[in-house]
Amino acid sequence: MIWLNWRKFRLQALVGAAGLVLIAGYLLYLGLDIRDAHDAYRSRCTDPASCAKGEAEFRGAYRTTLLFLAAGLGLIPVVLGAFWGAPLIARELELGTHRLVWSQSVTRRRWLLARTAFVGLAAMIFTGLVALLLTWAASPYDRVAADRFGAIEFGARNIAPIGYAFLAVALGTAVGLFVRRTLPAMAVTGVVFLVVQFAVPNLVRPHLMPSEHATLPMTAQTINGAKNLGSITGAPVIGGLRVPGAPDAWISETGPMRTTDGRTVDAAAFGRCLDSPPKTGADGTFGDTAVCLAALDLHVDLEYHPSGRYWSFQLAETGLYLLSGALLTGIALWRVRRA
């Protein structure tokens, strides 16, 4: 079975190996460049002002590149699931070549399990190596940015992508077994896995562990430390806050700005501070707006996870994907007896 699987998979394996070499070459170059830039930034860090300026320049130089690379790594399991997993069984059923294998001494379940395991392991190795290289390349930036829990960044670092790859292949195999047509199976696999990748970070990941709660007074300093203020709908919201004493914590939910009696701040009052605050000459990111809002005596309720839970979340999410992939494999093994 190993020799037969290799014969059927060798073209995909060679293409994957060539792609891995190219990706590795670029990430090695990028990683060395980031380290040189980080050393240069640290050498100029002689006082708080120069450190803040150097940090902002360092983050600005690589933020977009690393975000695109993380998003690209997130698409690798989608591609593997659609192009490696979906045709794995669907093409055999579509062309009728499965009948030859099933007429031999190998049982249907053993045939399916061997094929899925072979391709699934290859996908996990490929994705895991790319994730390892990206984690190494981005590590100086990640230490400075302190955004390891970012929705895109989290799924492109360390071991989580390995679980994504296994689930993608298992999903493609199961879909192909039910759909029995290669192109429709590829399309369904890609769409379904994209939905999963959107749903898990936003709907599942924050609830894998009980969150901590904190109430943060909206002082001018706190508001100026945020990343964004307001929304296109005019809602009194603030984003990108940091938990005092735990700046690396992952804030999974930020409530609206509330008054001392617990009511959401009046939209009109918030809008006045945002659009036409009294002139005070205050500096900072939001300047006079921050002073105006601070005078309203507001607070925000937060739900967050301490940074020390990072590896617990990595293990939990990886395990969730591996378990889901194993469940799909079990369904495929049940289905193949009736194919």
Q: Is residue 255 part of a domain?
A: yes
Contact 288, 304 (CB under 8 A): no
Statement: residue 40 has pLDDT above 60 = yes
| Higher pLDDT among residues 108 and 141, named by residue | 141
Q: What's residue 247's pLDDT?
A: 73
- What does pLDDT average to over the chain? 87
User: Is 289 in the same domain as 323?
Assistant: no
Query: Mean pLDDT throughout 308-312?
Result: 93
Same domain, 44 and 188: yes
194 and 293 share one domain: no
Whether 142 and 22 share a structural domain: yes
CA dist 174 and 123 (Å) reads 16
The answer on pLDDT for 57 being more than 60 is yes
pLDDT (mean) for 4-16: 72
SS3 254: strand
Contacts of 289 (CB under 8 A, 6+ apart): 223, 229, 273, 274, 277
- Specify whether 57 is located in the same domain as 24: yes
Domain count, the chain: 2
**Whether residue 129 sits in one domain with residue 90:** yes
In a domain? residue 214: no
Q: Is residue 124 part of a domain?
A: yes
Residue that has been written with the tokens 């294998």 in this structure? 101
Judgement on whether residues 79 and 114 belong to the same structural domain of the protein: yes
Taking only the tens place, the pLDDT of each residue in 59-84 is 888 999 999 999 999 999 999 999 99
Task: Tell whether 79 and 145 lie within a shared domain.
Answer: yes
Task: Note whether residue 304 is domain-resident.
Answer: no
Give me the mean pLDDT over the 237-250 stretch.
83
Same domain, 16 and 146: yes
Does residue 272 lie within any of the structural domains?
A: yes
In a domain, 65, yes or no: yes
Structural domain span for residue 281: 219-297
